[in-house]
Amino acid sequence: MDWTRSNDDLFVRLDPGEEIHASLRELADELKIDAAAITSGIGRTRDNLYGHMSDEGVYHKVSKTEPCELISVQGNLGRLEDGTAFTHIHMCISDDDMEVHAGHLFEATVHVVGEIHLRILEQAIMTRCPVVDSDFVALRFS
């Protein structure tokens, strides 16, 4: 991983073998970022695990292990109540047949490169709190 910062804009390059969530959370800890908007991301990933949440609050997951073009990622970065960095990311990928797959991103490993932009929210506090009887972790502002 490498990154550059210009004021509140952080641009990150992820390298082959790096997992998107883990890498961004590690960077948040290193740079002491408590809140950020993940505004864009492109690249090529593999071992993509994504899905959607049912009306009952249960995540349904789909795995796409072969390499895919990472068309877009967006989301946010905050902290859990215990201070642990937490990323909430949605993604859109395209397989080699140009079929598009999208949803909540659980995991994705960079295959060639990942290029992700974050806008750091210096004055914001975003906390993620578990929701009773749901897989969802709600966003709270302080």
Q: pLDDT band for position 142 (50/70/90)? A: confident
Interatomic CA distance for residues 105 and 61, integer angstroms? 9
Residue 121 near residue 138, CB atoms below 8 Å: no
| pLDDT, tens only, 101-129 | 999 999 999 999 999 999 999 999 999 99
| pLDDT, tens only, 50-81 | 999 999 999 999 999 999 999 999 999 999 99
Handedness of CA 23, 100, 68, 66 (dihedral sign): positive
Residue 128 near residue 35, CB atoms below 8 Å: no
Residue 94 near residue 46, CB atoms below 8 Å: no
